[in-house]
Amino acid sequence: MRLGVLDVGSNTVHLLVVDAHPGARPLPAHSHKAELRLAELLDGNGAIGPGGVEKLVAVVQDALQAAEDKGVENLLPFATSAVREASNADDVLARVQAETGVELQVLSGAEEARLTFLAVRRWFGWSAGKLLVLDIGGGSLEVAYGIDEEPDAAVSLPLGAGRLTAGWLPGDPPASDDIRALRRHVRAEIARTVGEFSRFGAPDHVVATSKTFKQLARIAGAARSADGLYVQRELKRGSLTTWVPRLAAMSTAQRSALPGVSDGRAGQLVAGALVAEAAMDLFEVENLEVCPWALREGVILRRLDHMGSA
């Protein structure tokens, strides 16, 4: 059957259409995305303003039309941290449902981490052993660890690249004092959670998902997206540490000229790099592998599992 996953994230609204059957690997059929940057549209009270809500409704309507055009039989719509943490989340969800008919399921941070972990486990299989999974989104950082398909530990921290850029790095390029302040903040937040994971022992394999990690790996020398899903892509902490000050000294326009860096994400890359470096450092990760599957695939796999057991 043809499934559609509608992901209302902190940076983008992304419709992923796949041909999927229980017990089989989901095959991508179509991708439709629009940059909305909800994490940057929150007002001083933490609410998504009227303009932001109107944009969201319009983008969801466009995604619905794309899903219909591609013959989607079953749509799985969900929202993550930007909507979850908006002070007017209930009003936003009601407006979207009233005007589009779409009832967005709001995932908790822990659910995001667990579903991303499931996707990574299925991609690498049981032979990967104990997995530590890192995911940097626009609004939050998810960390999960485990040996099964359900992680033994999973946390979500308010350390998304979009959120941190909007709140901490107003300059272009950002001021060195702002960089230092954000670095201290990020490391203090992550350090509070390290003990939850270290008691399980060292992971056998460390994996990262998300656009931020993909872009950081690419500028550090990993293969292009055009080279395909099955090319191994790694990011070494030493390479990242070398790149962080270089990225911080660049303007957004200069960063967007780097290989693999999109115009829409270039402004957030410094904050994302600071989070990535802090996570690798505090979790004592020297090298990680980038996984092409993440939250959207986890949502699809969970639905297929439920269909298969029905």
How many Å apart are CA 214 and CA 226, to the nearest integer?
13
Within the chain, all domains assigned CATH 3.30.420.150 are found at 109-295
Report cis status (omega within 30 of 0) of the bond before 292.
Answer: no
- What is the CATH number that goes with domain 2-106? 3.30.420.40
Mean of per-residue pLDDT scores for the chain? 95
Q: Which pair of tokens denotes residue 198?
A: 């270290």
Contacts with 89 (C-beta within 8 Å, 6 or more apart), sequence order = 83, 106
How many Å apart are CA 96 and CA 284, to the nearest integer?
42
Confidence (pTM) = 0.95
User: 185 with 168: CB under 8 angstroms?
Assistant: yes
- What is the CATH number that goes with domain 109-295? 3.30.420.150
Within the chain, all domains assigned CATH 3.30.420.40 are found at 2-106
Q: Say what the pLDDT of residue 162 is.
A: 92
Q: Say what the pLDDT of residue 42 is.
A: 80
Chunked in runs of 10, what are the mean pLDDT values of the chain (310 residues)?
94 95 91 88 87 94 97 96 93 97 96 98 97 96 98 97 94 98 98 96 97 96 92 97 98 97 94 98 98 96 83
Q: Say what the pLDDT of residue 130 is.
A: 98
Q: Say what the pLDDT of residue 43 is.
A: 83
Amino acid symbol at 307: M
Q: Say what the pLDDT of residue 23 is.
A: 86
User: 268 with 165: CB under 8 angstroms?
Assistant: yes
SS3 134: strand
- Residues 299, 105, 141: CA angle, nearest 5 degrees: 65
Q: First vs last Cα of the chain: how many Å apart?
A: 16
